[in-house]
Amino acid sequence: VMPVFPVLPVLLGLCMCLGPAAAATPLVIWHGMGDSCCNPLSMGYVQKLVEKKIPGIYVLSLKIGSTLIQDMENSFFMNVNDQVREVCSQLAVDPQLRGGYNAMGFSQGGQFLRAVAQRCPSPPMLNLISVGGQHQGRVYGFPRCPGESSHICDWIRKTLDLGAYTQAVQEHLVQAEYWHDPLKEEDYRKNSIFLADINQERGINETYKKNLMALKKFVMVKFLNDTMVDPPISEWFGFYKSGQAKETVPLQETSLYKEDRLGLQEMDKAGKLVFLGVKGDHLHFSEEWFDTTLLPFLQ
């Protein structure tokens, strides 16, 4: 997660109508906590990388709110279900996306885009790339804070400690909505208004399962030296063994996979799940790694 600077919004996709290269599959990206759509050091940088390597591609960097400051603040304080609904509306009315699109989410943006895939199949998401997304949630974490938001994170830590699963906190604090405490599994399953829903913790929504399984590829990137996500294996859909916070299990050993509540087992057997590891801390990667490892999924 990068620091946020008050920059002017980037005009997206200006070259999409020039020449035959415009046939490239569009890309939708969603930033992480404390970031914004058009930060030149983060999402703006990624957008330029993609546009340089895939001439003519249409890139939509999602902005939640009317300004960059609102976009950043909403990454902390806007109910995730409302954010997902807003994004689904944006995608539905964008004529460039009618034929389908690829999606790339960074940190919490990865799990939010998975919710879009599960809840909003039109227009169709073709490939989903989750870069450090916490698909089984985050616990105890928050050792670091993005950018200039340290005072916000200090407050969030205290709030999560006091009552992550109270209704007021769930409704108004994004990070609480994917707070997964292995010592309070019942509280999590009962009261998590976002993650427990999209992870089928309270029953099987067959539509969620069907929609996710429609993806061609679901790529999950784990940062091997991550100090921000706890446990890092959440980025590969693994988590702590229930009832303790020391020993972790991979996705394939979770009940979510064994019971195939989300279709991940079937997707895995069909070769649709891709697990990538990259050296470095949370969201730290090189342009060379991005070009050689992630770009092929967009072409």
- Cα separations in angstroms, 241 against 167, 180, 256, 262: 26, 12, 13, 19
Q: d(Cα 262, Cα 237) in Å, to the nearest integer?
A: 12
Q: d(Cα 146, Cα 70) in Å, to the nearest integer?
A: 16
Residue type, 102: N
Percent of the chain's residues with pLDDT above 90? 69
Q: Could you give the dihedral angle defined by the CA atoms of residues 38, 43, 46 and 51, in that order, rounded to the nearest 10 degrees?
A: -30
Tens digit of pLDDT for each residue in 82-141? Answer: 999 999 999 999 999 999 999 999 999 999 999 999 999 999 999 999 999 999 997 555
Per-chain mean pLDDT for the chain: 88
If you search the block for the tokens 């954010």, which residue do you land on? 83
- According to the model, what pLDDT value does residue 7 have? 36
pTM exceeding 0.85: yes
Contacts of 177 (CB under 8 A, 6+ apart): 79, 80, 170, 192, 193, 194, 195
Give me the residue spans of the domains in the chain.
Answer: 27-142+203-297
pLDDT, average across residues 169-182: 90
Three-state secondary structure call for residue 200:
coil
Strands, E assignment, the chain: 27-30, 59-61, 101-106, 125-131, 217-223, 239-240, 248-249, 273-278
- According to the model, what pLDDT value does residue 183 have? 86
Backbone angles phi, psi at 242, to 5 degrees: -60, 140
- Selection from 103-112, 169-178, 227-236 with the highest mean pLDDT: 103-112
Among 16-20, 103-107, 188-192, 225-229, the least confident range: 16-20
- According to the model, what pLDDT value does residue 19 have? 41
Q: d(Cα 53, Cα 68) in Å, to the nearest integer?
A: 26
pLDDT, average across residues 154-180: 85
Looking at the predicted structure, is the pLDDT value of residue 5 above 50?
no
Tens digit of pLDDT for each residue in 11-61? Answer: 333 333 444 444 899 999 999 988 999 999 899 999 999 999 999 999 999
Phi/psi class of residue 282: alpha, beta or left (left: φ > 0; alpha: ψ in -120 to 50)? Answer: beta
Q: List, by residue number, the catalytic residues.
A: 107, 226, 282
Strand duo 239-240 + 248-249: pairing: antiparallel
Say how far residue 130 (Cα) sits from the centre of its chain: 6
Judge if the upstream peptide bond of residue 123 is cis by omega within 30 degrees of 0: yes
End-to-end Cα spacing for the chain = 25
pLDDT, average across residues 160-181: 87
Looking at the predicted structure, is the pLDDT value of residue 250 above 70?
yes
Query: 175 with 74: CB under 8 angstroms?
Result: no
Could you tell me which CATH class the domain 27-142+203-297 is placed in?
alpha beta
Tens digit of pLDDT for each residue in 254-276? Answer: 999 999 999 999 999 999 999 99
Q: d(Cα 127, Cα 218) in Å, to the nearest integer?
A: 6
